[in-house]
DNA sequence: ATGTAC
C-alpha cells in the first residue's frame, strides 16, 4: 500500500484502477495500522471502487480492519448518479452509539456513595449476550412503534422527558423507518432486548470531567470540571445484526443484475434508489430507532438508580450514533448534492451554525462523544467549520489486536484486579469479556483524538475519566 | 458487534 504523506495528519492513497476516487487517511504516522496484521488500508482502497462514490474514501485516525468497509471509514455516494448503499458501510451493529448524561453533582460530593451507585447500576442494567431487557414489549405492534419512534416513543411512554429529545441526533428518531423490511427473525431476536447493553466493547460508565479544553462550549453542553457523568455505549443488539445479515444476502443476489462488481463480496451493495437499496435503508432506519430507544431506556433505568442513591438528576448532554448511513446534502465541487453518507465507526460532527442543531447548541456545534477503551479516558468533542469528510470524525480508540489476540495476551493477568487497582470499580463483565477489551488491545484514544483535531475534523471540549464501569 | 457457524 503506497501512502503519500500530505500533512502530518493526512495521508493519500492515489487512485488506481478500479478505484473511482483516491483514499484519504486522517492519522499520524504512529497511528497508521500495521499493514502485516490489519488490512484496513486495502479496505479504504476497495471502498473507493463503489459506484457513485464522490471525492474520496476516507479513514479516521481510529481506523482498523472490519467487515468489508474498515471500521473508522467514511464514504459518500451520489444518490442521483447511481450511488450505492452498502450494509458493510454501516456494520453489523447498526446505530451503535453513545449517550452522555451529566449529573448535578461533583465527583467529591459523590464520594463513598460511588459503590452503592455502581451496585444499583449493575443491577438495573440488563447486559451480556442473549435476552434480558428494561422493557418487556406487549406485542409486535409495540415493537413496530419502537422501530418507527425510537427515543421519541420511549419518551412518550414515560421513559424520559421531552427535553431529552432535543439532545438526541435527529430528535430521537429518523422518519424513514420501514418495519416491513425487518425480517421475522430480526424481530424475534430484538423483541426481548429493548433496553439492554449487550457485550463486547459496550458499557455503562460512571465518569468524572477531568479536564475542560473549551469552557464556553463545555458550558453550552452542560459540562464543567469535576462533574459526575454517566456514559452509555450500546447498539441495536441481535435485531441490527440480523438486518445486516439479511440485506447483505439480498444485495449479493441482485448485484449482477445492476452490473455492479466489487473487489470484496463483503462490499455487497445496491443503488440507493433501487428496491433493494431502499429496503435496506428502511430496515436500517428501523434498527437506528431501536438502538436509540435502547439507549433511552438504559438512561431511564440509570436515572432511577442515580436519584435513589444520590438524590440527584442526570441531564442528557447528547446521544449520537457512530454506525449509520444517512442521506445528507453536502457541497461537492461547488454544487449541493444528495449523498448517502456511510459512517462506520465514525461520528457525525456538525459544525456551529448547522440547521440540524437545536437552538441552544447551534452557536457551538454538535457534541461528539468518544468512548475510550476500558479503564481509559473518554472525550467530548465538537464539530468544526470547513471540515473534510462530510462532517465526520473518529468514534473511539480503535482496535490494534483482534479479540483472539487480546485474549491470548491477557494470560497470567487479572484484568478485573488491575482495573480496581487503578481505582476503577467493575460490575458485571465476564473474564473473557474483560480480556477482549483490555486497553493494550486498543490504540491510545488521546492520540486518536489529537490526530482528529490536528486533521481539522473536530475540536476537543472535555476529557472524562472512569470511576466505575458496568460491562456485559 | 452477534443465539461467537444454517
Which grid cell is A93? 451493529
pLDDT band at residue A472 using 50, 70 and 90 as cut-offs: confident
State the DSSP H helix or E strand holding residue A445, giving kind and residue range, or none if neither. Answer: helix A445-454
Query: Nearest to residue A60, comparing CAs of A390, A440, A430?
Result: A390
Strand, helix or coil for residue A189: helix
pLDDT value, residue A153: 98
The per-residue pLDDT for range A139-149, each reduced to its tens digit, is 999 999 999 99
**Percent over 90 (pLDDT), chain A:** 95
Q: How distant is C1' of B2 from CA of A28, in Å?
A: 32
**For A4-400+442-471, CATH number?**
3.90.1860.10
Q: Is the C-beta atom of A342 closer than 7 angstroms to strand B? A: no
The answer to whether residue A119 scores a pLDDT higher than 90 is: yes
Q: How far apart are the first and last CA of chain A?
A: 37
CA pseudo-torsion sign A333, A334, A338, A342: positive
Which grid cell is A351? 459544525
The mean pLDDT value for A374-403 works out to: 96
The mean pLDDT value for A216-228 works out to: 98
Residues A443, A397: contact at Cβ < 8 Å?
A: yes
pLDDT value, residue A375: 87
Q: Is the C-beta atom of A266 closer than 7 angstroms to strand B? A: no
Spatial strand order in the sheet of A4-7: A4-7, A10-13, A23-26, A57-64, A71-78, A335-344, A323-332
Which of the 391-420 residues on chain A come under 7 Å of nucleic strand B at their beta carbon? 403
pLDDT value, residue A300: 98
Which of the 56-95 residues on chain A come under 7 Å of nucleic strand B at their beta carbon? 67, 92-93
The mean pLDDT value for A441-447 works out to: 96
Residue where the block lists cell 434498527: A287
The answer to whether residue A412 scores a pLDDT higher than 90 is: no
pLDDT band at residue A385 using 50, 70 and 90 as cut-offs: very high
Q: What's this model's pTM, rounded to 2 decimal places? A: 0.98
Which of the 228-247 residues on chain A come under 7 Å of nucleic strand B at their beta carbon? 234-235, 237-238, 241-242
Q: Is the C-beta atom of A130 closer than 7 angstroms to strand B? A: yes
Q: Is the C-beta atom of A323 closer than 7 angstroms to strand B? A: no
Query: Nearest to residue A281, comparing CAs of A251, A238, A319?
Result: A251
Dist CA A185 CA A239 (whole Å): 8
Distance of alpha carbon A403 from its chain centroid, rounded? 19
Nucleotide nearest to A241 (CA to C1'): B2
CA pseudo-torsion sign A235, A431, A120, A371: negative
The per-residue pLDDT for range A284-340, each reduced to its tens digit, is 999 999 999 999 999 999 999 999 999 999 999 999 999 999 999 999 999 999 999
Protein residue minimizing CA–C1' distance to B3: A130
Distance of alpha carbon A316 from its chain centroid, rounded? 17
The answer to whether residue A429 scores a pLDDT higher than 90 is: no
Q: Is the C-beta atom of A430 closer than 7 angstroms to strand B? A: no
The answer to whether residue A411 scores a pLDDT higher than 90 is: no
Q: Is the C-beta atom of A3 closer than 7 angstroms to strand B? A: no
CB-based burial label for A111 (10 Å; 0-12, 13-18, 19+): exposed
pLDDT band at residue A16 using 50, 70 and 90 as cut-offs: very high
Q: Is the C-beta atom of A127 closer than 7 angstroms to strand B? A: no
Q: How distant is C1' of B1 from CA of A259, in Å?
A: 31
Q: Is the C-beta atom of A129 closer than 7 angstroms to strand B? A: yes
Q: How distant is C1' of B5 from CA of A241, in Å?
A: 15
pLDDT value, residue A463: 98
Kind of pairing, strands A347-348 and A392-393?
antiparallel
The answer to whether residue A131 scores a pLDDT higher than 90 is: no
Nucleotide nearest to A190 (CA to C1'): B3
Kind of pairing, strands A459-471 and A347-348?
unpaired
The mean pLDDT value for A178-191 works out to: 96
Q: How distant is C1' of B5 from CA of A222, in Å?
A: 47
Query: Nearest to residue A394, comparing CAs of A439, A453, A437, A434?
Result: A453
Q: How distant is C1' of B2 from CA of A216, in Å?
A: 41
**Eight-state DSSP code of residue A53:** B
Query: Nearest to residue A248, comparing CAs of A45, A77, A84?
Result: A84
Binding-site residue ranges of A for GMP: 201-205, 322-323, 371-374, 378, 395-398, 471
Cα A448-A452-A456 angle, rounded to 5 deg: 165
Catalytic positions of A, please?
Answer: 395
Q: How distant is C1' of B1 from CA of A186, in Å?
A: 15
**Eight-state DSSP code of residue A31:** G
The residue extents of the domains of chain A are 4-400+442-471
> Could you write out the DSSP letters of every residue in A82-108?
T-EE-GGGT-SSTT-EEEEEEEEEEHH
| HEC secondary structure over A364-421 | CCCEEEECCCCCCCEEEEECCCCCCCCCEECCCCCECCCHHHHHHHCCCCCHHHHHHH
Strand, helix or coil for residue A37: coil
Binding-site residue ranges of A for Mn(2+): 93, 202, 233, 322
Nucleotide nearest to A239 (CA to C1'): B2
Nucleotide nearest to A472 (CA to C1'): B1
Chain B bases closer than 7 angstroms to a protein Cβ: 1-4
Helix axes A114-124, A275-310, angle to 10 degrees: 140
Dist CA A449 CA A382 (whole Å): 11
Cα–Cα distances in Å, from A336 out to A328, A339, A342, A355, A362? 10, 9, 18, 15, 21
Nucleotide nearest to A201 (CA to C1'): B1
Amino acid at each position: 500500500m503506497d501512502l503519500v504523506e500530505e500533512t502530518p495528519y493526512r495521508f493519500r492513497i492515489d487512485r488506481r484502477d478500479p478505484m473511482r476516487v483516491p483514499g484519504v487517511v486522517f492519522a499520524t504516522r504512529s497511528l497508521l495500522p500495521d499493514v502485516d496484521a490489519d488490512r484496513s488500508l486495502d479496505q479504504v482502497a476497495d471502498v473507493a471502487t463503489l459506484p457513485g462514490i464522490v471525492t474520496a474514501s476516507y479513514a479516521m485516525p481510529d481506523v482498523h480492519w472490519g467487515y468489508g468497509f474498515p471500521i473508522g471509514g467514511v464514504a459518500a455516494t451520489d444518490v442521483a448518479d447511481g450511488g450505492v448503499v452498502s450494509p458493510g458501510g454501516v456494520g453489523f451493529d447498526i446505530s451503535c452509539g453513545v449517550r452522555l448524561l451529566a449529573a448535578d453533582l461533583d465527583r467529591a460530593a459523590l464520594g463513598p456513595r460511588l459503590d452503592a451507585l455502581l451496585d444499583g447500576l449493575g443491577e438495573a442494567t440488563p447486559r451480556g449476550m442473549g435476552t434480558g431487557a428494561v422493557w418487556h414489549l406487549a406485542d409486535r405492534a409495540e415493537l413496530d412503534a419502537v422501530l418507527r419512534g425510537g427515543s421519541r416513543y420511549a419518551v412518550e411512554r414515560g421513559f424520559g422527558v421531552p427535553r431529552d429529545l432535543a439532545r438526541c441526533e435527529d430528535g430521537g428518531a429518523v422518519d424513514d423507518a420501514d418495519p416491513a423490511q425487518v425480517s421475522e427473525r430480526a424481530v424475534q431476536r430484538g423483541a426481548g432486548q429493548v433496553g439492554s447493553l449487550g457485550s463486547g466493547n459496550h458499557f455503562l460508565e460512571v465518569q468524572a470531567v477531568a479536564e475542560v479544553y473549551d469552557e464556553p462550549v463545555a458550558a453550552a453542553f452542560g459540562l464543567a470540571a469535576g462533574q459526575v457523568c454517566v456514559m452509555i455505549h450500546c447498539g441495536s443488539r441481535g435485531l441490527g445484526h440480523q438486518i445486516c445479515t439479511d440485506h447483505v444476502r439480498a444485495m449479493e443476489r441482485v448485484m449482477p443484475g445492476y452490473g455492479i462488481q466489487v473487489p470484496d463480496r463483503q462490499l455487497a451493495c445496491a443503488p440507493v434508489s433501487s428496491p433493494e437499496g431502499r429496503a435496506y435503508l428502511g430496515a436500517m432506519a428501523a434498527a437506528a430507532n431501536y438502538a436509540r430507544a435502547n439507549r433511552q431506556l438504559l438512561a431511564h433505568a440509570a436515572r432511577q438508580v442515580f436519584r435513589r442513591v444520590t438524590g440527584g438528576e442526570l441531564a442528557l448532554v447528547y446521544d449520537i450514533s457512530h454506525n449509520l448511513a444517512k442521506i445528507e446534502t453536502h457541497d461537492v465541487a461547488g454544487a449541493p448534492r444528495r449523498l448517502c453518507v456511510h459512517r462506520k465507526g465514525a461520528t457525525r460532527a456538525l459544525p456551529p451554525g448547522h440547521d440540524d442543531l437545536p437552538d441552544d447548541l447551534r452557536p457551538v456545534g454538535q457534541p461528539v462523544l468518544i468512548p475510550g477503551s476500558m479503564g481509559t479516558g473518554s472525550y467530548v468533542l465538537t464539530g468544526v467549520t470547513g471540515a473534510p469528510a462530510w462532517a465526520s470524525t473518529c468514534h473511539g480508540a480503535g482496535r490494534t489486536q483482534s479479540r483472539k489476540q487480546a485474549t491470548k495476551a491477557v494470560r497470567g493477568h487479572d484484568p478485573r484486579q488491575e482495573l480496581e487497582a487503578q481505582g476503577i470499580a467493575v460490575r458485571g463483565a465476564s473474564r473473557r469479556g474483560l480480556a477482549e477489551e483490555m486497553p493494550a488491545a486498543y490504540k491510545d484514544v488521546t492520540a486518536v483524538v489529537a490526530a482528529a483535531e490536528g486533521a481539522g475534523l473536530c475540536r476537543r471540549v472535555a476529557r472524562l475519566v472512569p470511576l466505575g464501569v458496568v460491562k456485559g
